[in-house]
Amino acid sequence: MLFFLLFLNLLVFTYSEEVHELRSECLNEAQLMDTLIRKRDYSKHKLPRESEYFQETKRDVRKCLKESRLTEVDNTLINNLIEVRIKYFPGKNGITVSVEFWIQEINSISEMTNDFELEMFINEMWTDPNLRFSHLGACKANLTLDQQTLTKLWTPNTCFVNSKFAEIYESPFQNVFLTLFDNGTVWVNYRVRVKGPCNMDLEDFPMDTQSCRLNYQSFSYNNDEVRLQWNNQRSPVFALQEIRIADFWLKDITPAVIKRDYPAGYWDELVVTFVFERRYMWYFLQAYLPTFFSIFISWIAFSLGPQAITPRTMIGVNALLSMIFHFGSIMKNLPRVSYIKAIGRSFSLVSDFLLSISLSYYIPDVWMLSSMTFVFLSLIELAIVGYKLQMQREKEHVIERVDRIARFAFPAGFSIFNIIYWARYGFKVG
């Protein structure tokens, strides 16, 4: 019995020593990176498609098989090893880099500068066989490293080739996340702010839809060396939260891959297109609704009679000035373009309505007083003296008839205009 207890004690002691020895053999992150980068002559300027780890493994297998005299399985093992390397670490097709964009926020869209600004996370993932550490006794499946370590590793040198401005956030430190997995997979995450271009077409303003694009590619390597692709395990570009912008709402995000032809070769280019639709309600309340009121008020002049010259003038002119003021307050914040905007078409036609209303009675008077004063002044004087009553009665009859026609024609014409206008540009409330 005593012998059995001594045996169990020895067994437990031996097991404890083995566990302690195994734990002591686990390398920490600093030791692992020192082994991977410094002792193995790792170079960040060398493409990771040639794995020195696999070369060392093949030499060890050959040596082991030779010493064991297993010549019959020698070629089989070597061929299997080569097939594994070709399958998972292809050389001639370049390194495959998977990319994801996580949209955090869209800060602004500017019609004046034709651009938009957003905050996002860029995720890149590739496999570097030279950074495998599963055989080094790390006792962990992945390492979380800092940005300084990333500067020592090979990276695909990707960037936004069409951006106006791009930077990595540095509050309170540079926002770079690096994870290294034991199979050599490298995962890098950047938090960046980007200002990209928008192809602004304001012809349908304010019922317009705008498209903004970001083009992402490797700056240093063509697709013979680096192949860029979107992560196909899920949607590669998505918003982390609901995007709210003052003037727009995010309608769609479309990722795509194109092959760009340069003199130095072909480059894989990742393209993401953001489609924004303008929020319409503000412009309806601030521009269209006051214009409707100005039009409706101007129609009151048709019911005042031909003798109410001064009130009709005040109503028409004030309505016109009010409409012009609203038009100017909106257009001052928009860029100057060589074509007419939808709201500009509306205001231009409304101006025609108001001008014709305000001058429907005064066009002959204004034109004659301004253009023919010096020529026909004496003739008018004579005509007024000789035929005052007859001409005045005839004029009243004609003007009353014009007013009756205008009371029907202007509302009907304005209604037809609205049907055509809203059928063309659509009525959206947002």
For the segment 342-354, the average pLDDT, to the nearest whole number, is 52
Which amino acid, 155? T
Same domain, 310 and 345: yes
Is the Cβ–Cβ distance between 187 and 322 less than 8 Å?
no
Task: Tell me, yes or no, whether 273 and 371 share the same domain.
Answer: no
* Residue 113 is assigned to a structural domain of this protein: yes
Residues 6+ apart with CB under 8 A from 196: 115, 116, 117, 118, 160, 162, 163, 164, 212, 213, 214
207-244: per-residue pLDDT in tens?
A: 788 999 999 999 999 988 999 999 988 899 999 998 88
The confidence score (pLDDT) of residue 227 equals 93
11-39 in b/e form (b: 16+ CB < 10 A) is eeeeeeeeeeeeeeeebebeebbeebbee
Look at residues 219, 248, 279 and tell me which one is the last residue of a structural domain.
279
First to last CA, the chain: 87
What is 182-203 written as a DSSP string?
TTSEEEEEEEEEEEEEEE---T
The per-residue pLDDT for range 111-122, each reduced to its tens digit, is 888 999 999 999
On whether both 230 and 373 belong to a single domain, the answer is no
The DSSP secondary-structure symbol of 287 reads I
Q: Is pTM beyond 0.85 here?
A: no
Residues 260 and 289 in one domain: no
- CATH number reported for the structural domain that contains residue 375 in this entry: 1.20.58.390
How many domains does the chain contain in total?
A: 2
- 148 and 202 fall within a common domain: yes
Residue 166 pLDDT > 80, yes or no? yes
Q: Is residue 33 part of a domain?
A: no
For residue 57, tell me if it sits in a domain: no
Among 256, 279, 302, the domain-final residue is: 279
Query: Does 71 map to a domain?
Result: no
Cα distance between residue 131 and residue 184, in whole Å = 5
Residues 228 and 326 in one domain: no
In a domain, 203, yes or no: yes
Same domain, 260 and 409: no
**Confidence at residue 389, expressed as pLDDT on a 0 to 100 scale:** 35
DSSP string, 232-273: TTS-SEEESS----SSEEEEEEEEEEEEEEETTEEEEEEEEE
At 338 the three-state DSSP class reads coil
Residue 173 located in a structural domain: yes
Q: Give residue 147's pLDDT.
A: 86
Confidence class for position 201, pLDDT limits 50, 70, 90: confident
Instruction: Tell me if 81 is assigned to some domain.
Output: no
Structure tokens at 360: 């429907």
Residue 347: band (very low, low, confident or very high) from pLDDT cuts 50, 70, 90: low
Give the domain extent around 337: 282-425
Domain match, 202 and 346 both: no
Q: Higher-confidence residue: 383 or 378?
A: 383
Instruction: Work out the pLDDT band at 367, boundaries 50, 70, 90.
Output: very low
Evaluate whether 214 touches 166 at the Cβ level (below 8 Å).
no
Q: What is the CATH number of the domain that holds 122?
A: 2.70.170.10
| Partners of 228 in beta bridges | 97
Q: What is the mean pLDDT of residues 253-259?
A: 95
* Domain assignment present for 350: yes
> Do both 329 and 262 map to the same domain?
no
Whole-number pLDDT of residue 7: 41
